[in-house]
Each structure stands twice: as structure tokens, then as C-alpha cells.
């Protein structure tokens, strides 16, 4: 009580703000959240992951993103060089028309840009009709010749109104369009092979580490035999087994399976090592004592504990599968025309004289290198992010 005999007011509690509860502290974040935060701080890995996302989106909608369809060709512009794009406020995005000159003595073919004739380009323009995902009929292309502006100029039927951003091959087919179509095949081979590798590696590696004994010895000896085989001759042997009269879809499926059957060993050993380290942990022993089946203990309690390491191993293994498909197709033992893949496109580069005269035919190499580097950088970033002792 105060001197006047009145009771002092009770102290009011401090206002409770939602800030400490709205944002979870670093100590209570899940391992997945910590991994994602560390990965987001890895600039090169994040940029590589974004580039891979762009490539896969482009491959998924290749019919829309390609300036021309896969079957389109113009023999009048065979081996047409790349056309540089120009921009002006008056004409917008344009390319110069190319005039073909044939030497009557040597039969050499050259192209000269006609700066006075400008071919207008545009986004989301009408072009060759196609079926998106083989279901939806469309004729819109992300980038191409603006036929409406050509028609307004009275040049709708101009034979020289073509657009080859990365040049043309010997049949006058657009290299850029075939690169985009080939991305669907080459990238999907790596993705599907990764799924098959994941199933085989986790299943056999988990059984080897969890069961042990004779099963462990058998699986490890099989892995050692597969790893002892030289990879390139093994790819060639597998490719030579495919009959020449098989359909392109059958060959595609067999190439994917063949690449998976020789690439699961690394993941299986990673899984086996992790299972050996975790199977005697308290939570695994408690699950067995509570009556959980061996399959539940293995796939419900043990495998999720190192999922991030599995993802890293798979990410670093995809480039090898893409290179395997490229090598087989380049040598004519894998995918064959009319399938379009980056390896099939490189078949035109087997003649060094052709490459010397038309170097733009090596464009698939640039896409392959970018894809493999992106997978490697993204895999390294995931590995650093998944390591709890990493300084990143």
C-alpha cells in the first residue's frame, strides 16, 4: 500500500508479439529446411538449378519453343549459316535475307546477306502447325518469322523468308529447332534412367546393408563385376545387341534401361554404407521391438534418414547417363533417325571436313556441356547443403 492507503496498480504484462513464434529459429528447423536454405545461398548451384529448369521446361514444350517443326525442311537452304538478329525501333526484331550463290565450277555453295531485305520476327507468331504433347493442335511458336507483317508487305510467299538462328543442316532443317526437340529425348533419357537407378540402387543396396550375410556378399560381388567392366566397350556391346529393325520407341526404351542397369552400383554402395551405420540406432531397434516388419524398418525408418545423400548421388550420376546416350547415338548404336537427340544430331559431325566448313553443326556439344556442368554444379551445391558440417 502507498502512503495514501491505496493499492498500487498491478504491473501489466509485456505485449506478446508473434515475431518469435512466426519465424522458426535455426535450431528447430528440419534437416530439409536447413538443406534448402544452404542450397539457396550457393549462387552457382542455384543458377545451375535454374538453367536445368529452363532446359526441362523447353524440352517439355519443344513443339511450342521450336521455331519450326521437327519434320520441316527446305533443301534450297541446305547448310545455311546462322543468321544474326537485328533490332531497331522502326522495324523491331529482324534478320537479313540470305541469297544463295552456287559456284558453277566448284559447286561450292555460299550465302550472302541482303541488307536491303529485312525479314520481320516476332514472339508467339503463327507458323507450322503441330500437336502440343501430341494432343492439342496449335500453330503458335514462341519465336519465328512474322508472316502477318510479311503479308502486309506483299511478300507472304517469299522463298527467302526463312529464319535460321543457329544455321541449317544438309537437308535445310533448322538446327535450333532440332536442338530443342532433341532436348526432350536426351534429357528424358537421363531422367528416366535416374528413376530406374534409384529403384535398383535403394532396393539392392538396402537389402545388402540391412540383411547382410550371403545376400550382402552376392550383391557386392555383382557390383564389383559390373564396375570392373570397361564402360565404353560395354556401351558399345549393349548398343550392338539392338536389332536394326526395332522401332525407334523400342530402341529408346532399351537404351534407357541399358544405361540404368550399369549405373546403379554407385548408389547401391552409398545406400549400403548408410544402412550399415544406421541399422543399430536406437530408433531402428525400437521399431523392430515394437513389431515393425523388416521392410517397414528399412524403407520407412532408415532410408528417409539419408534421402538428401541419395538425391545428391542421383544428381551427379545423370550427366554420365546423358553422355552414354550421346556416345551410343553418335556411333550409330543407340537412337536412330527419325528420333532426334543431341547424339543423333552429332552424327553429321563424323566427317571432319564437314565440321570445318559448317562448324554450327557442333551446336549440340554446347548444349551437352552446359547440361553436364549444370548437373555437376547443382550436385556439388546439394552435397555441400546436405552436409551438416559444411561452412556454407
For residue 388, the model assigns a pLDDT of 58
Q: What is the pLDDT of residue 297?
A: 83
Predicted confidence at residue 1, as pLDDT, reads 47
Range in 181-190, 301-310, 373-382 with the lowest mean pLDDT: 301-310
Instruction: Assess if residue 129 is contained within a domain.
Output: yes
Considering the domain architecture, whether residues 85 and 161 belong to the same structural domain is answered as yes
43-56 burial, b at 16+ Cβ within 10 Å, e below that, comes to eebeebbebbeebb
- What's the total number of domains in the chain? 2
C-alpha cell at 30: 528440419
Q: What is the pLDDT of residues 303-340, one digit of tens each?
A: 877 777 788 788 878 888 888 888 888 877 777 788 88
pLDDT confidence of residue 157: 59
Which of the listed residues 118, 143, 173 is the one where a domain comes to its end?
173
Q: What band does 392 get if pLDDT is binned at 50, 70 and 90?
A: very low
Q: Which of 173, 192, 207 is the last residue of a domain?
A: 173
Residue 312 in any domain: the answer is yes
Rg (CA), the chain: 29
Question: What burial letters (b/e) apply to 1-35, b meaning 16+ CB within 10 Å?
Answer: eeeeeeeeeeeeeeeeeeeeeeeeeeeeeeeeeeb
Report yes or no: 129 and 68 within 8 Å, Cβ to Cβ: no
CB 367 within 8 A of CB 375: no
Longest dimension (CA), the chain: 122
Residues 344 and 275 placed together within one structural domain of the fold: yes
Confidence of residue 57 (pLDDT cuts 50, 70, 90): very high
- Please give the pLDDT value at position 305: 75
- Whether residues 288 and 217 share a domain: the answer is yes
pTM, entire model: 0.81
Query: Which of 235, 269, 380 has its CA nearest to residue 316?
Result: 380
Cα–Cα distance measured from residue 328 to residue 287, given in angstroms and rounded to the nearest whole number: 47
In a domain, 343, yes or no: yes
Report pLDDT for 336: 79
Look at residues 139, 157, 173 and tell me which one is the last residue of a structural domain: 173
Q: What is the DSSP track for 65-120?
A: HSSS-SS---GGGTTPPPPPEEEETTTEEEEEEEEEEE-TTT--EEEEEEEEEEEE
> Is 248 or 347 the better-scoring residue by pLDDT?
347
Instruction: Tell me, yes or no, whether 161 and 208 share the same domain.
Output: no
Q: Which residue has the cell 500437336?
A: 131
Q: Is residue 40 part of a domain?
A: no
Same domain (yes/no): 129, 164: yes
The share of the chain scoring above pLDDT 90, in percent, equals 8
Residues of the domain holding 292: 179-386
Residue 380 has pLDDT above 50, yes or no: yes
pLDDT value for 97? 81
Q: What are phi and psi of 25, to 5 degrees?
A: -75, 165
Res 28: pLDDT: 64
Instruction: Please check the confidence at residue 261 and state whether its pLDDT lies above 50.
Output: yes
Amino acid at each position: 500500500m502507498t502512503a495514501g492507503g491505496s493499492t498500487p496498480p498491478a504491473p501489466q504484462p509485456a505485449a506478446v508479439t508473434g515475431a518469435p513464434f512466426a519465424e522458426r529459429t535455426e535450431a528447430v528447423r528440419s534437416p530439409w529446411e536447413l538443406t534448402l536454405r544452404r542450397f539457396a545461398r550457393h549462387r552457382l548451384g542455384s543458377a545451375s538449378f535454374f538453367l536445368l529448369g529452363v532446359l526441362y521446361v523447353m524440352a517439355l514444350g519443344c513443339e511450342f519453343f521450336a521455331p519450326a517443326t521437327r519434320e520441316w525442311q527446305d533443301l534450297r537452304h541446305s547448310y545455311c549459316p546462322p543468321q544474326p538478329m537485328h533490332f531497331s525501333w522502326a522495324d523491331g526484331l529482324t534478320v537479313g535475307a540470305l541469297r544463295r550463290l552456287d559456284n558453277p565450277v566448284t559447286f561450292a555453295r555460299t550465302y550472302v546477306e541482303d541488307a536491303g531485305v529485312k525479314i520481320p520476327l516476332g514472339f508467339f507468331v503463327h507458323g507450322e502447325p503441330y500437336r502440343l504433347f501430341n494432343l492439342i493442335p496449335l500453330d503458335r511458336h514462341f519465336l519465328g518469322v512474322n508472316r502477318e507483317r510479311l503479308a502486309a508487305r506483299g511478300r507472304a510467299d517469299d522463298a527467302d523468308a526463312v529464319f535460321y538462328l543457329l544455321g541449317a543442316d544438309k537437308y535445310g532443317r533448322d538446327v535450333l529447332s532440332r536442338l530443342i526437340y532433341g532436348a526432350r529425348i536426351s534429357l528424358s533419357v537421363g531422367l528416366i534412367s535416374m528413376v530406374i537407378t534409384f529403384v535398383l540402387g535403394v532396393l539392392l543396396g538396402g537389402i545388402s546393408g540391412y540383411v547382410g550375410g550371403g545376400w550382402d556378399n552376392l550383391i557386392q560381388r555383382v557390383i564389383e563385376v559390373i564396375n570392373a567392366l570397361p564402360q565404353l566397350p560395354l556401351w558399345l556391346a549393349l548398343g550392338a545387341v539392338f536389332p536394326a529393325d526395332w522401332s525407334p520407341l523400342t530402341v529408346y526404351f532399351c537404351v534407357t534401361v541399358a544405361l540404368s542397369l550399369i549405373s546403379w552400383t554407385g548408389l547401391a554402395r552409398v545406400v549400403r554404407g548408410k544402412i550399415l551405420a544406421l541399422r543399430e540406432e536406437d530408433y531402428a531397434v525400437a521399431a523392430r521391438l515394437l513389431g515393425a516388419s523388416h521392410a517397414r524398418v528399412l524403407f520407412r525408418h532408415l532410408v528417409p534418414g539419408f534421402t538428401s545423400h541419395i538425391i545428391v548421388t542421383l544428381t551427379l550420376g545423370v550427366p554420365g547417363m546423358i553422355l552414354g546416350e550421346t556416345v551410343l547415338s553418335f556411333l550409330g548404336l543407340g537412337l536412330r533417325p527419325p528420333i532426334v537427340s543431341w547424339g543423333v544430331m552429332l552424327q553429321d559431325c563424323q566427317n571432319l571436313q564437314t565440321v570445318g566448313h559448317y562448324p554450327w553443326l557442333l551446336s549440340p556439344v554446347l548444349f551437352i556441356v552446359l547440361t553436364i556442368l549444370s548437373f555437376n554444379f547443382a550436385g556439388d551445391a546439394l552435397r555441400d547443403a546436405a552436409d551438416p558440417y559444411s561452412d556454407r
